[in-house]
Structure 1
Amino acid sequence: MDALILSNVEQGVMTITLNRPDRLNSFNDEMHQQLVDCLKQAERDDTIRCLLITGAGRGFCAGQDLNDRNVDPQGNPPDLGLSVENFYNPLVRRLAALPKPVIAAVNGVAAGAGATLALGCDMVIAARSANFIMAFSKLGLVPDCGGTWFLPRVAGRARALGLALMGDKLSAEQAHQWGMIWQVVDDAQLSDAALTLARHLATQPTYGLGLIKQALLAAETNTLDAQLDLERDYQRLAGRSPDYREGVSAFLAKRPPQFSGKSS
């Protein structure tokens, strides 16, 4: 089996590289399966405290490989909803539920599901030459991989509609100016900058970061009252963690904290 997903764990960071550079890292079913295997490892391995996703070659991800979603020999159209249900929806849910930070290092074009995958990560750092394309409309399709949920939240309704309806290329610089992504760096600096960020997050109170992530996701649909209750409940959990005790002790002793990332 070809290694369509490369993974490496070092200093608390799992780096996942989408590895179909000849197809701009577009997804096929085998690539989805290999990615799931990596994410399952990230879920169960407590030594992994941050996830970094990037692409091999000159692109981040061109979305779905259309060769895998063409009509069959009898001319019947594929069931694209089945593909979304079996692959993209579980992927988005798995990344959102992962109680660890997820960083996308966008090294080139991010199109279709590749763009929505990147925007669905917790933080996005992009090379200056990178771009984002909501290419779905060019094929008469609807943004998937969480696109219709993430896009208006990171770009606002007007920009989300414009990007989705027009399918135009959005530069990394413009995405940064609009507040859609965290950082833009020169192409040659992307790998080091992304890894530095990931390694920093991997030293932080992972359990608390996971609670922050879940609280902010919940805020998208909660009422204020519900969110205040959630903050109370999560703060109670965070306050019982060893990292909170370590953070206070380090602050009082005027020393750098040594967080374990554990919940108890």
Structure 2
Amino acid sequence: MTEYDDIIVGRAGRIGTLTFNRPEKGNTLRPQTLAEVCCGLDELIADPEVRAIVLAATGKHFCAGADFSFLDELTRMPASDIKAQIYAHFQGAAKRLYTCSKPTLALVQGAAVTVGCELALACDFRIVAETAFFQESWIKLGIMPPLGGLFLLPRLAGLGRASQMVLLGQAVKAVEAERIGLAGEVVPVDMLAGRGAAFAEELAAIAPLAYASVKEALHRGLETSMEAEWSANLLNQALLLGTEDFREGLDAVKAKRAPVFGAR
């Protein structure tokens, strides 16, 4: 694994982890951090032994947003440079998480603000500590969410609650986040890592080719019609029925045992 300054990348068995590691700064993100996140995700995605990816953080907060020194720097940068920063690193990290064919899980404690909120939303699943809160407070700075939140929040939480978050900058605490669909589960903060590890193992056990196909179809379904989905999914299902994973799943069901999937 490559050595990084702002993050920690590791692997334990089938689980890859990418951990924000600037706790003294509330894990606020700067271009260097996001460049490292992109490289770290590329590393985990390319590793054939990694079957699920966990996004986590050290310290009190998951991510308290963008680093203020970077925000100050943005006021002096031309629009072309700002666009390059956002697309290359900030949006690049969100895209990697959202399009990753492997399961992705965010473990959120404390603040998940602006960039941190959007990166958590880009993951497939979110388990949060009781201390967690999500906040899209970009509008309080006179700017807008650029990393996918404007697309995902209305679909996860409904237009009304999404509007309150992005137009008013309202925070959503852990219990409400679970109620409206931003979080799948709320646990005590001291149980977050353990519950996350257990859930990641569940994700790693899922047939990888089927997972990738279903995830892609879910995302595509947010933008297409039912007719298009019937056509696309018929082809994908036909391909999956010819895989070793399907044969293993069928054998396991008939034998009443747990399947052991693996991309072949």
User: How far 1:10 moved relative to its partner?
Assistant: 1.0
Instruction: Give secondary structure in 2 for the equivalent of 1:30.
Output: helix
Q: Tell me whether 217-226 or 142-151 shows the greater mean CA deviation.
A: 142-151
Residue 91 of structure 1 pairs with residue 93 of structure 2: yes
Structure 1: runs of 5+ lacking an equivalent: none
Render the CA deviation track for 1:59-97: whole Å, top value 9, x for unaligned.
00122112113148xx73553333222212222221122
Which one of 82, 85, 88 corresponds to residue 84 of structure 2?
82
Letter in 2 for 1:259: F
Q: Tell me whether 11-20 or 32-41 shows the greater mean CA deviation.
A: 32-41
User: How far 1:255 moved relative to its partner?
Assistant: 2.1
Q: Is the 8 A contact 1:126 1:190 kept in 2?
A: yes
Sequence identity of aligned pairs in percent?
Answer: 29
Partner residue, 1:59 = 61
Q: Is the 8 A contact 2:38 2:89 kept in 1?
A: no
Structure 2: runs of 5+ lacking an equivalent: none
Instruction: Give secondary structure in 2 for the equivalent of 1:17.
Output: strand
**In 2: Cα distance, 1:62 partner to 1:234 partner:** 40
Q: Is the 8 A contact 1:59 1:109 kept in 2?
A: yes
Q: Is the 8 A contact 1:58 1:107 kept in 2?
A: yes
Instruction: Give secondary structure in 2 for the equivalent of 1:82.
Output: helix
Q: Is the 8 A contact 1:5 1:31 kept in 2?
A: yes
Render the CA deviation track for 1:141-186: whole Å, top value 9, x for unaligned.
1012111111111111111111111112210110111122211111
Question: RMSD of the TM alignment (CA)?
Answer: 1.6
Partner residue, 1:252 = 254
Distance 1:62 1:51, change over 3 A: same
Residue 228 of structure 1 pairs with residue 226 of structure 2: no
Q: Is the 8 A contact 1:70 1:78 kept in 2?
A: no
**In 1: Cα distance, 2:153 partner to 2:83 partner:** 20
Partner residue, 1:36 = 38
Q: Is the 8 A contact 1:100 1:207 kept in 2?
A: no
Letter in 1 for 2:238: R
Letter in 1 for 2:92: P
**In 2: Cα distance, 1:224 partner to 1:2 partner:** 44
Which one of 155, 158, 163 corresponds to residue 157 of structure 2?
155
What count of residue pairs does the alignment treat as equivalent?
A: 260
Partner residue, 1:116 = 118
Q: Tell me whether 124-133 or 236-245 shows the greater mean CA deviation.
A: 236-245
Runs of 4+ in 1 over 6 A off after TM superposition: none
Give the TM-score normalised by the residue count of structure 2: 0.93
Instruction: Give secondary structure in 2 for the equivalent of 1:53.
Output: strand
Render the CA deviation track for 1:107-158: whole Å, top value 9, x for unaligned.
1110011111111110000001110111101101101211111111111111
Partner residue, 2:243 = 241
Partner residue, 1:14 = 16
Partner residue, 1:46 = 48
Letter in 1 for 2:211: L
User: How far 1:30 moved relative to its partner?
Assistant: 1.5
Q: Is the 8 A contact 1:24 1:60 kept in 2?
A: yes
